[in-house]
Amino acid sequence: MLNKDNDPNLVEILNDIDEIRVLNYNKTSRKLELQDIVSLKNALQKEQYQNIMMVNEKGNSLNVYGREKNGKPCGFVAIIENTQNLVLIDLIGTIDMKKFMALQKKIPIKAEDILN
């Protein structure tokens, strides 16, 4: 599903991923407020996640957190939000960040595309 074009570079990146969960929330219907998001980010830090990337673009915010076990990446969480929506992506496993960044330059991922 993620690799519709059978890109071998994407296969290499996804190879060490055990599980991906994506949760979409409408902030209004879920009654999510700023403090809820702050609490979520604080909980990630308590679980030893480090903020590894932050992007703010056109009213959309993306925060990516990573966690290591025995010196190796073992999980990532992305929090993508705007005024209406919140998307959580929980990835268990590992991604070669150098390969991901190289692929991301070829296929720009915009927060607005995920949120809409």
Is 103 inside a domain boundary? Answer: yes
**Residue 83 counted as domain residue:** yes
Quick one: average pLDDT of 105-111? 58
Residue 104 belongs to some domain of the structure: yes
Q: What's the CA gap between 94 and 90, in Å, rounded?
A: 11
Whether 105 maps to a domain, the answer reads: yes
**Which tokens belong to 4?**
């519709």
Identify whether the C-beta of residue 78 lies closer than 8 Å to the C-beta of residue 62. Answer: yes
pLDDT digits (tens, 9 = 90+) for 39-85: 999 999 999 999 998 999 888 999 999 999 888 888 999 999 999 99
Average pLDDT of span 15-32: 90
- The tally of domains found in the chain comes to 1
Q: For residues 10-36, give the mean pLDDT.
A: 87
In a domain, 15, yes or no: no
95 φψ region: left (φ > 0), alpha (ψ -120 to 50), beta (else): beta
Instruction: Note whether residue 94 is domain-resident.
Output: yes
In this structure, are residues 62 and 79 in contact, taking their beta carbons and an 8 Å threshold?
yes
Residue 51 lies in a domain: yes
The residue range of the domain holding 28 is 20-115
State the pLDDT at residue 73. Answer: 83
**Least confident among 16-20, 42-46, 63-67, 108-112:** 108-112
How many whole angstroms separate alpha carbon 92 and alpha carbon 89?
A: 10
pTM comes to 0.73
Asked whether residue 12 is assigned to any structural domain, the reply reads no
Q: Higher model confidence: residue 25 or residue 18?
A: 25
Across the chain, what does the average pLDDT equal?
A: 83
Q: What is the pLDDT of residue 1?
A: 44
